[in-house]
Amino acid sequence: MPFSAIRAEKGDAGPTVAVARLAEDDLPAGLPGGDVSVDVAYSTLNYKDALAITGRSPVVRRFPLVLGIDLAGTVTASTHPGWSEGDRVVLNGRGAGESHWGGLAQRARIGGDWPVPLPAAFTLRQAMAIGTAGYTAALCVDALLDHGARPDQGEVLVTGATGGVGGIAVALLARAGFDVAASTGKAAEAGYLKGLGAATVLDRAELAAPGKPLQKERWAGVVDSVGSTTLANACAQTRYGGAVAACGLAQGMDLPATVAPFILRGVALLGVDSVMAPAAKRTAAWERLARDLDPDLLDGTVREIPLAAALDAAADLLDGRVRGRLVVDVNR
């Protein structure tokens, strides 16, 4: 049966992105780990998806391509021994929406090694309310805890706290017993952040301007989705032996820092990659989310939109006019 998808194409005038009607035969085959066909229930609109839709960054690596780095749905057919018809799966990254056909579609065909089982704690919609953002937040929390971060060591900082990664990081860290300081440029969202578990809310301006190579020790750990000067200041303010989990670049890709925090305070800078993380880390992250994230908290972080609305919502997301998560109901 024909299905709808947001597809990027490249013609003589350059790339275009639009909702297209496709056939099952259009879906890719011969994928790594075997082919898994999925009836997609929900996808999301992520920062990377918005870049691809607007063309503000060359995210798409081949054409034509169905966009969408996330999906949650039900397996309809599989040549991979680990998946059977009726299994609920969630996919985050693994090249979807960049070099492989992605999840902003009613149907998808993905590599058998890419998805993980969706925990029973979540509905398909809730899985995409979490999406790559929440999964990345869980990876960051796991990284800090694996490094040895403990609540009795002091406050932890979350930058970009009203974003998709930041909000869920606040909730997970609070659930783990930490006192969380949430940094945001949206003062009106203080109540929202405290509802997620933040103990204090900081103006992002405190971190956004260049600072000294070493500053007053404040944070036992940091989850940073902002990058650039904010990340440099976060490192400079981290306590001796603390760690900073870095996963984003909302302020910029640069890092105007010195080695001082690393060689004088033993601060660890932990890079967190969500796209190609191995299956064991992916599964552990989703297990943490299922164990520690209250699904009811997601209601205040989510706005649901139909598939076609993702085209216009992309610019709003990039321009900072979106709080939390945009869940895409691909079937309306």
- pLDDT per position as a tens digit, 32-71: 899 999 999 999 999 899 999 999 988 999 999 999 999 9
Q: Where in the chain is the domain with CATH 3.90.180.10?
A: 3-118+296-329
d(CA 17, CA 251): 26
Rounded to whole angstroms, what are the CA distances from 180 to 34, 200, 203, 296? 43, 7, 14, 20
* Tally of CA atoms within 13 A in the half-sphere of 237 that contains its CB: 23
Per-residue pLDDT tens for 173-218? 999 999 999 999 989 999 999 999 999 999 999 999 999 999 999 9
d(CA 277, CA 82): 19
User: φ and ψ at 199, to 5 degrees?
Assistant: -85, -35
Q: What is the pLDDT of residue 156?
A: 98
Q: What is the pLDDT of residue 15?
A: 87
Q: What is the pLDDT of residue 11?
A: 83
CA torsion sign for 157, 159, 164, 167 is: positive
* CATH number at 3-118+296-329: 3.90.180.10
* Residue 322: strand, helix, or coil: coil
d(CA 222, CA 242): 8
All residue ranges of the chain with pLDDT < 50 are: none
Q: Where in the chain is the domain with CATH 3.40.50.720?
A: 131-271
* CATH number at 131-271: 3.40.50.720
With vertex at residue 246, the alpha carbon angle to CA 110 and CA 290, rounded to the nearest 5 degrees, is 55
Q: What is the pLDDT of residue 324?
A: 65
Phi-psi region of 55 (alpha: psi -120 to 50; beta: other; left: phi over 0): left
Q: Tokens 């990345």: give the residue.
A: 136
